[in-house]
Amino acid sequence: MTSLDWVFIGGYFALLLGLAWWVILKGKDTADDYFLAGRNLGWFVVGASIFASNIGSEHLVGLAGSGATSGVALAHYELHAWCLLVLGWVLIPFYMRSMVYTMPEFLERRFSPTARWVLSIISLVAYVLTKIAVGIFAGGIVFGTLLPEMNIQIGGVTLDSFWVGSVAVVVLTGLYTVLGGMRAVAYTEAAQTIILILGSVLITFYGLAALGGWGELRSVLGSEMFNLWKPIIPEGMTGTWAPVKETGRIAWYFNGNYPWVGMLFCAPIIGMWYWCTDQYIVQRAISAHSEREARRGTIFAAFLKLLPVFIFIIPGMIGLALAKSGKAQAMTQIIDANGNAIAAKAQAVYPLMVQTVLPSGVRGIVVAGLLAALMSSLAGVFNASSTLFTMDLYQKFRPKATQHQLVWMGRAATIVMVLIGLSWIPVIRGARGLYDYLQGVQGYLAPPIFVVFFFGIFMKRLNAKGCLSALVVGFILGVFRLLVDTPVSLKLAGYENGYSEGTLLWVVNNVYFQYYSLFIFLVSAAVMIVVSYMTEKPSEDRLKGLTFGTLSSEDRAKTRGTWNHWDVITSSIVLLLIVAAYVYFSG
């Protein structure tokens, strides 16, 4: 890092803090303003904020690492940008019409208060276990690689770059999130999106220049690394239906094998849960000042979501090619004697690329992009968690709480999330297996949530008892799998070699995670439908405007008035670009 690099990084922090302070001064002491930015965001800020919230440092670190180990296999998840179109065209009208603050609140409107409580608690626990923990871990890898000399002495304790960088970013992010709420988060995320994309485009450009161009990349790596439909199968495996026992089952970003059956059927379920029903993402869309702006924001976010394949995954592949070709000696540490990527070391391929191929000054811009990714994702989860706690739990206990009290409780909840994030650092630092393990959480918890939202909107006959049964059964199955996986994933005493072959626990632990996720989905769907049809029908009056079957002609006309041919054209372009990417990466 040179002086010029530090100038750019300092400029990034100055811009961020100035923008946050400007937004905080404009804020009002109301729940609407603190949690939903006054429901007044425009499409650009909505779309950029959705993208920035999704793209955390784990994407830069992890997707690049997966590019080095598995090629474009993980592009499947990034090409699910069409899920954002489902959010904008299908679900946004229901969310905006009901004027909810949270996704569990919408579930209460459709089904029952109990369903809201269950989803709120599960969401909060999942955010603490996954989004906060994973984001900080990936950020620590970035700081540890780029700034190994950054050490601070406090008393007799030495804090290395992992600690210093992680603590500084968590505290700074928490500061403007606590003070400014959703408005500060959304506007700073819009600025961070620009910096993040610029930095990532630069590393792709300079990486290809150092390697010798796109043709050289394909020549060095071979066609299999560019094929979405030919995942790398573990040695000894002969088909995608066989159980897979290796870290690919749970390592969503760094390693693994992606059978087409799982990608075709399971990945869309996870995608639509995440993009269409998760508070972390949807909160930005329902903060728009109209249904039109919310929809256009999701279309814009879908365009942006196509970029990670080329600005995160491809740089990882470029890093591998530089190592294999010997054109960057520093990169050779990520490969073994046979020229294959070492999964654990591939995690550092993106920051190594920053060190290796970027000139002075440009390196500072890219590091600023890395910081933007880390801070935007943490700000998003801090804000989403405080909203869930305040509006779904605190307000239930204190229904007469004033707007001022709700805002201050939101701030207090954010502070607690920041402290939890800081307390995670030593746990994450000391157990790298934990990071891999946590990636499977969403695969096991998402299916029942997807089922109750989508089936609930499309099937008016489904009732509260069916919803609650599906949530409970689905979550039990998911938690059971996590409990079975935990001792093996963390290699606890007595479980270093897994369970005894042939036992029930061995079978559960060895079923590929996407197949188990599909199993949860099928069971949850069956339970919801069977229980609903075995019990009483929900009241038609209660369902007005909450399902397609109970929409009035006025509701339909109002929604039709919020889009025009340009919205259809831009959405079609997104779909065509996705198809084009699949065609290109299929041979």
Backbone φ and ψ for 243, nearest 5 degrees, come out as -60, 145
Task: Look up tokens 């006025």; give the residue.
Answer: 554
Question: For the chain, which residues make up each domain, given as ranges?
Answer: 3-104+139-429
**In the numeric block, which tokens belong to residue 498?**
């897994």
- Say if pTM beats, i.e. exceeds, 0.75: yes
Residue range 196-246, pLDDT digits in tens: 888 889 989 999 999 999 999 999 988 888 887 654 444 444 443 333 333
- Rounded CA gap, 7 and 172, in Å? 19
- Rounded CA gap, 299 and 288, in Å? 13
Answer whether 331's CB lies under 8 Å from 221's CB.
no
Q: Lowest-confidence range among 236-245, 291-300, 348-357, 411-420?
A: 236-245
Q: For domain 3-104+139-429, give the fold.
A: Sodium/glucose cotransporter (1.20.1730)
Question: DSSP characters for 425-458?
Answer: HHHHHH-HHHHHHHTTHHHHHHHHHHHHHHHHHH
The Cβ of residue 139 has, within 10 Å, a number of other Cβ atoms equal to 29
**pLDDT interval class at 511 (50, 70, 90):** confident
Q: What is the mean pLDDT of residues 400-413?
A: 90
CA dist 95 → 31, 52, 61, 282 (Å): 17, 22, 34, 9
CA dist 530 → 10, 110, 124, 288 (Å): 59, 18, 29, 37
Half-sphere exposure of 1 (CA within 13 A, CB side): 19
Q: Lowest-confidence range among 79-83, 93-97, 287-291, 357-361?
A: 357-361
Task: Look up tokens 């990670």; give the residue.
Answer: 308
Residue range 3-25, pLDDT digits in tens: 888 898 888 888 888 888 888 88
Asked if pLDDT for residue 116 goes beyond 90, the answer is yes
**In the numeric block, which tokens belong to residue 317?**
């592949």
Number of H helices and number of E strands within the chain? 31, 2
Say what percent of the chain tops pLDDT 70: 87
Answer whether 369's CB lies under 8 Å from 196's CB.
yes
Asked if pLDDT for residue 253 goes beyond 50, the answer is no
- Rounded CA gap, 384 and 24, in Å? 18
Asked if pLDDT for residue 554 goes beyond 60, the answer is yes
**In the numeric block, which tokens belong to residue 179?**
């003070």
Torsion of CA 502, 507, 510, 513, to 10 degrees: 170
Torsion of CA 4, 8, 346, 374, to 10 degrees: 160
- Rounded CA gap, 26 and 33, in Å? 10
Answer whether 331's CB lies under 8 Å from 323's CB.
yes
